[in-house]
């Protein structure tokens, strides 16, 4: 039969060391951060990302532009943010905003678009080009990914910090034990006959 003493770190005991109390608090704080902090961090990160995602303004219009020059057949290489669309490149297009005069500017178009091809672009009421707004499904998917990443990072930081603190506590305990043993050890077993 196995006997376990629940909450042993919190009980009064003459043999309980200060490091036992510190360890108890570390375990409690880490548990609370893991069970409450990680989900809250994930939700907060996802909500923040979705709240700041590019959405079309009230005066934005989708118009058809004509590619003035052919787009690169290969997207630009290099680091890109998570969830960015690498299937588009910047190229020169000509467009006419509603009720305006023709404009020429650089806009994101699909890779390999040929000169003269029609591509959709977003313009505001003043005729200025804007990046394509994100699809609601893409925004939600990115929010979930960033929420999971934030939760994972918090869990790793909490567990790493807890492990480091407990490692330091255990090393101090071992050092204290060696000091005490150095005092008691030489007298151990030397009894007069």
pTM above threshold 0.75: no
What are the structure tokens assigned to 10, written together? 């919190």
Q: Which long-range contacts (CB under 8 A, 24 or more apart) does 106-111 make?
A: 107/65, 108/132, 109/67, 109/71, 110/71, 111/71, 111/72, 111/73, 111/74, 111/75, 111/87
Radius of gyration, CA atoms only, the chain: 32
Is pLDDT of 193 > 60?
no
pLDDT digits (tens, 9 = 90+) for 162-192: 999 999 999 999 999 899 888 888 877 766 6
Cα–Cα dist 48/45, whole Å:
5
Distance CA 108, CA 67 (A): 10
User: Chain centroid to CA 98: how far?
Assistant: 40
**pLDDT of res. 58:** 73
Do 66 and 95 meet the contact criterion of CB atoms below 8 Å apart?
yes
Distance CA 34, CA 40 (A): 10
Q: Is the pLDDT of residue 62 over 70?
A: yes
């Amino acid at each position: 039969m196995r006997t376990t003493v629940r909450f042993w770190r919190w009980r009064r005991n003459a043999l309980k060391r200060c490091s036992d109390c510190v360890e108890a608090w570390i375990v409690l704080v880490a548990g609370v951060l893991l069970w409450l902090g990680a989900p809250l961090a994930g939700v907060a990160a996802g909500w923040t990302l979705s709240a700041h995602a590019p959405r079309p303004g009230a005066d934005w219009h989708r118009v058809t532009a004509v590619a003035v020059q052919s787009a690169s057949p290969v997207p630009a290489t290099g680091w890109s943010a998570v969830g960015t669309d690498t299937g588009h490149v910047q190229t020169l297009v000509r467009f006419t905003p509603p009720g305006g005069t023709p404009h020429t500017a650089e806009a994101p178009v699909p890779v390999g678009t040929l000169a003269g091809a029609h591509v959709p672009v977003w313009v505001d009421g003043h005729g200025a080009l804007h990046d394509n707004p994100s699809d609601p499904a893409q925004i939600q998917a990115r929010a979930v990914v960033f929420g999971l990443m934030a939760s994972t990072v918090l869990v790793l930081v909490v567990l790493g910090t807890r492990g480091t603190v407990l490692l330091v506590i255990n090393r101090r305990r071992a050092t204290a034990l060696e000091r005490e043993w150095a005092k008691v050890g030489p007298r151990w077993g030397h009894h007069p006959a």
